[in-house]
Each structure stands twice: as C-alpha cells, then as structure tokens.
C-alpha cells in the first residue's frame, strides 16, 4: 500500500501562527505530498497564514475565511472549496475558544453565555464542519479533531473547556457512526500540553509543563510535529480500520492515576 498523500487535498482549520498545532499538522501533511487548504477565523489572519504557508516548498495552497460560529460561513466555505477543487480527502479541526474569565477560578461560576460560547466554537463546530465537508469526500476521507485530557477528568482551571472537550469527544464518536457509511472516518488526538497562542497567558502553564517532564512515562512534553505525524496517520490509509478513536499523544501521561 502507498501511504503518500500525493494527489490528495486536506483542509486545515485553526492555524494562528507557527506554534499552532494545526501548523504541525499542515507540515506533516505537506511532507507526505498533500495539497492543503487553510481556513482562518477572520480576514485579520489572512496575511500571517499566507506568509507562513509560503515557507512550504512547492505547496499550491488555497485560503478561505471561515468563522465557525456561523453555519452560513461554514456552508459557503465548503461550497466554494467544492467549486475550486472538487474533491477533498480530509480535514483537521484545530479550533477551540472559551472566555478568559471561564478558564480560572471555579467551574461552578461559569455563566450561561460562557458555557454556550465555549461549546459553540469548540464542540458544535465539528458537527457543522463535518456536515459541510462530507459531500466533498466522494472518495472517502478522514476528519481529525484536537482534544485534551481535561475532557476525561478534572484538570484545574480547564473548567468549561473540559466540559466542551467531553462534548467534542462524544460528538466525534456520533459523527464517526453517521459518516462511516460514506467511507469517512472521524477521530481525535488528545494532545499533551504544548505552548501555543491559546495556552499563552493561561496561569500555571509552566507548572503544567514541568509536571509532564517529571511524571509522564516519556519524561518530556510533546511537540506540534509529533501531533502532526499522528494526524497524518489518522488522515492516511495507514489508519484505514480506525474510526471513533481518541489517540493520546501526550508522552503517556494519561495512563497515570
Ligand atoms: P492556537 O491558538 O494556535 O489555535 C486555536 C485556533 O482556534 C486559532 O487558530 C483560532 O483561529 C481558532 N478559532 C477560535 N475561534 C474560532 C472561530 N470562531 N472560527 C474559526 N476558528 C477559530 O492553539 P492550539 O494550536 O493550541 O489549539 C488547537 C486545538 O488544540 C484546540 O482545539 C485546542 O483545544 C487543542 N489542544 C491544545 C493543547 C495545547 O496544549 N496547546 C492540548 C490539547 C488540545 P484564529 O487565530 O483565526 O482566531
Ligand atoms: C489546564 C490547562 C491550562 C489552561 C486552561 C485553559 C486553556 C484553555 C484553552 C482555550 C482554547 C484557550 C482560550 O480560549 C484562550 C482565549 O480565551 C484567549 N486567546 C485568544 O483569543 C487567542 C488570541 C486565540 C488565537 O485563541 C483562540 N483559542 O482562539 C490546559 C493546558 C494544559 C492545555 C491546553 C492549552 C489545552 C487547550 O485546549 O488548548
């Protein structure tokens, strides 16, 4: 079997800068020969994303604005992608957001607004995007989302995002069940902590990284590249029998009690 991604096209959603996990995924897919399509939340990110992508040698990428809080925007984006390229072979969903005030203190204080916003952007968006993308995967395909251990157990400060990740994990499984008959597999990567723009300004991040270095079986944190290579596996035929799965790319931390 040939595991090159030559002749295949993948949509990568959620590159903010060179530290983004989505960027690690984009680089792995590019290395494997894939053509890439990038989406970003607003026009503001168009130039930075294009500048970054210009560093990928020989990559003939396409770019679209897509704020996932709007079903119209999501539908319009994938309609346009269909017109521009026809078939796609997969999608990486690397999107999450919660209000800063909901990522500290006690979860019990989460507002209705904050709860709905976090779930809207971080979990429902996978439904919306998968529904719009599936018809473009006429040759079958793969969808990968990014989750975190805080959706499986309580992690201090992760709060409403943990509840949104629990929803995302279940969403991924229900989507896997629906889309399997179309030859579309849906999986999640549970990444260990990586210093990205989202993680920035979040209290105690250094302490969390240090804890991984001291306690995780591999005694080190993981990189965007390691998550990227697992996404490549999940989006290629190497994983053709795998769907509805959560793979932990976290130096083994999640096996600890
Ligand atoms: P980044 O800050 O690099 O990426 C987050 C992305 O979410 C940004 O590109 C942002 O887009 C996008 N986003 C937010 N709101 C919207 C919206 N309304 N519409 C479209 N896009 C939106 O952080 P990460 O790479 O860390 O995050 C990627 C994923 O990985 C997230 O799901 C996160 O929860 C998950 N994850 C991260 C871990 C970590 O330690 N970093 C650990 C485990 C999981 P824009 O910049 O265009 O606003
Ligand atoms: C226990 C951990 C410590 C951190 C606690 C919460 C982290 C939540 C992640 C969430 C995605 C962060 C935000 O939504 C930040 C947002 O309020 C402000 N930032 C922004 O608006 C920037 C500019 C944009 C680009 O960010 C987004 N998201 O759009 C969790 C750690 C150990 C692991 C992490 C960081 C997990 C994760 O899910 O990211």
- Chain segment 237-247, per-residue pLDDT in tens: 999 999 999 99
- Which of 224, 230, 225 lies closest to 248, judged by CA? 230
- Residue 148 annotated in active site: yes
3-state secondary structure (DSSP) of residue 18: coil
Candidates 40, 64, 115, 148; catalytic one: 148
Is the shortest distance between the CB of 26 and ligand 1 below 6 Å? no
- Host H or E run for residue 160: helix 159-179
Domain locations along the chain: 9-247
What's the CA gap between 242 and 55, in Å, rounded? 32
Is the shortest distance between the CB of 31 and ligand 1 below 6 Å? no
- Looking up tokens 């809080």 gives 69
- Residue 253 annotated in active site: no
Is the shortest distance between the CB of 236 and ligand 1 below 6 Å? no
Ligand 2 atom with least separation from CA of 202: 4
CA dist 128 → 2, 57, 133, 218, 254 (Å): 31, 32, 9, 36, 29
3-state secondary structure (DSSP) of residue 62: strand
Candidates 64, 158, 232, 233; catalytic one: 158
- Do residues 29 and 22 lie in contact, with contact meaning Cβ atoms separated by under 8 Å? no
pLDDT (average), residues 3-13: 97
Is the shortest distance between the CB of 197 and ligand 1 below 6 Å? yes
CA dist 126 → 115, 120, 130, 164, 197 (Å): 17, 9, 6, 12, 21
| pLDDT, position 54 | 97
Q: In this structure, which long-range contacts are made by residues 127-133, counting pairs with CB atoms below 8 Å and at least 24 apart in sequence?
A: 127/171, 127/175, 128/68, 128/71, 128/74, 129/13, 129/68, 129/74, 129/78, 129/91, 129/93, 130/91, 130/175, 130/179, 130/184, 130/186, 132/74, 132/75, 132/77, 132/78, 133/11, 133/78, 133/88, 133/91
pLDDT reading at 201 higher than 90: no
Strand partners, 10: 36, 90
pLDDT (average), residues 98-114: 97
| pLDDT, position 257 | 87
pLDDT (average), residues 26-34: 98
- Ligand located closest to 223 CA: 1
- Chain segment 151-177, per-residue pLDDT in tens: 999 999 999 999 999 999 999 999 999
- Chain segment 31-51, per-residue pLDDT in tens: 999 999 999 999 999 999 999
CATH code: domain 9-247 is 3.40.50.720
What's the CA gap between 257 and 244, in Å, rounded? 24
pLDDT reading at 202 higher than 90: no
| Residue to mutate, 110, 202, 211, ligand 2, most ligand atoms under 8 Å from C-beta | 202
Is the shortest distance between the CB of 96 and ligand 1 below 6 Å? yes
């Amino acid at each position: 079997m040939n595991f090159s991604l030559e002749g295949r096209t993948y949509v990568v959603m959620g590159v903010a800068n060179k530290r983004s996990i989505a960027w690690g995924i984009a680089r792995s897919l590019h290395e494997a020969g894939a053509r890439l399509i990038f989406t970003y939340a607003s026009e503001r990110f168009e130039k930075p994303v294009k500048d970054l992508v210009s560093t990928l040698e020989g990559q003939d990428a396409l770019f679209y604005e897509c704020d996932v809080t709007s079903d119209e925007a999501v539908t319009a984006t994938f309609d346009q992608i269909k017109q521009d390229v026809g078939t796609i072979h997969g999608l990486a969903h690397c999107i999450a957001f919660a209000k800063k005030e909901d990522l500290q203190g006690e979860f019990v204080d989460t507002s209705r607004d904050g709860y709905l916003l976090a779930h809207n952007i971080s979990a429902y968006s996978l439904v919306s995007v998968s529904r719009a993308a599936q018809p473009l995967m006429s040759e079958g395909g793969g969808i990968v989302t990014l989750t975190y251990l805080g959706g499986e157990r309580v992690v201090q400060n992760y709060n409403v995002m943990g509840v949104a990740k629990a929803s995302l994990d279940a969403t991924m499984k229900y989507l896997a069940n629906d889309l399997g008959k179309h030859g579309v597999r849906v999986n999640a990567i549970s990444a260990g902590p990586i210093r990205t723009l989202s993680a920035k300004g979040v209290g105690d991040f250094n302490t969390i990284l240090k804890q991984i270095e001291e306690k995780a079986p591999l005694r080190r944190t993981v990189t965007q590249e390691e998550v990227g290579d697992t996404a490549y596996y999940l989006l290629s035929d190497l994983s053709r029998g795998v769907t509805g799965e959560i793979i932990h790319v976290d130096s083994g931390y999640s096996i600890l009690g």
